Structure 1
Amino acid sequence: MTQPLFLCHPRCSTCAKARTWMTEHGIAYTERDIRTDNPTVAELTQWHAVSGLPIRRFFNTSGQLYRSMGLKDRLSAMSDEDAIALLATDGMLVKRPLLIIADDSGAPGTVLVGFRQNEWETALL
C-alpha cells in the first residue's frame, strides 16, 4: 500500500494534531509542505472530483490571505475551474491538512480535507 500524502503547513496547529494522531496510530505517510509545494491545478481538480465535496471546502476560510482577498463574497460567483486555478496560486489558500489516500491502482481513492478525527479513523484504521 502506498503511503498517504499528507499536505500540511509546518506551523499549523491542526496539522500538528493530525500528524500526532497518525504517529500515535503507527500510520506512515509522506509529508508535503503546502506552502512551498502547493497543489497544482491538475492535482486539485482530481482531488476535488474524488472528494465529492463542494470546492469551497478546499479553501482555508480562516486564513489571512482568504480574508484579505475578500473571497467569502467572491467564491459564490466563481466556477469550480476558476476556484481551483485560484487555489493553485498559493498553498496558504488551501484548507489543511489534506490527506490523499491512494487506491490499489495508485490513484487517489480518498481525499480528506481538514482534520476530523472520526473521518480519519474511518479512512485509515
Structure 2
Amino acid sequence: MTIQFFGYPKCSTCNKASKWLKDHNIEFVQHHIVETPPSKELIKEMLSTSGIELKKLFNTSGMKYRELQLKDKLPSMTEEEQIELLVSDGMLVKRPLVFDGKHLTLGFKEEEFEQIWSNN
C-alpha cells in the first residue's frame, strides 16, 4: 500500500511532516483530511494493524472535540459510534495521520518519522 497522508493545509504540524517526507524522497498520497477523511474501513484497518487505541485517533486539542464535549461522551460510546464520528468530520482526527498498511504515525515527531518512514 502506498503511504497515505491525511493532513490539513493550514496545519503547521502537517506541513512540517509532509516537508519531512518530501525532503527524504518518500512518496505519499496526500489527502485533505476535511474533504477526504479516512474511511471507516481504513480506520478499522489502522486499528487492527497498529494495535493503537481508538481514542488516540481523536484530535483532543481541536475546537470541534471540545465543542462536542467528547472527553465526557467518548467513554460511553461504542467503537462503531466513535468510528462513525471520526469519518463524519476530519477535524476530529488527529493529524497528520500517516499510514501505509503496516505502520501508522499520528502527529509529527521527527525521531518517529525517521524510525518508521525512513526504513520502508
Which deviates the most, 71-80 or 84-93? 71-80
Confirm or deny: 8 A CA contact 1:51 1:112 kept in the other structure.
no
CA distance in 2, matches of 1:116, 1:77: 31
Amino acid at match of 2:13: T
Deviates more, 1:21-30 or 1:55-64: 21-30
Q: Could you say which residue in structure 1 is the equivalent of 2:27?
A: 28
> Which consecutive residues of structure 2, in runs of 5 or more, have no partner in the other structure?
none
Deviations 1:91-125 (A, max 9, x none): 11100001111xxxxxx111112212222111111
SS at match of 1:88: helix
Q: Hey, what does 1:113 align to over in structure 2?
A: 106
Identity %: 37
Q: Aligned partners of 2:29, 2:94: CA distance in 1, in Å?
A: 18
TM-score, normalisation: structure 2:
0.91
SS in 1 for 2:41: helix
Amino acid at match of 1:124: W
Please state whether the residue corresponding to 1:81 is helix, strand or coil.
helix
- Which deviations, in whole Å up to 9, do the C-alpha atoms of 1:8-61 show, x marking residues without a partner? 111111101101111221112110111101112111111122121111110011
Structure 1 residue aligned with 2:41:
42
Which residue of the partner structure matches residue 67 of structure 1? Answer: 66
The match for 1:105 is: none
Q: Aligned-pair RMSD on alpha carbons?
A: 1.2
User: Which segments of 5 or more consecutive residues in structure 1 lack a partner in the other structure?
Assistant: 102-107
1:123 aligns to what SS in structure 2?
Answer: helix
Residue number in structure 1 paired with 2:56: 57
Q: Which amino acid aligns with 1:78?
A: M
Contact in 2 for aligned 1:59/1:87 (Cα 8 Å): yes
Q: Secondary structure at the match of 2:102?
A: strand
Q: Are the counterparts in 2 of residues 14 and 115 from structure 1 also a CA contact under 8 Å?
A: yes
How many residues get paired?
118
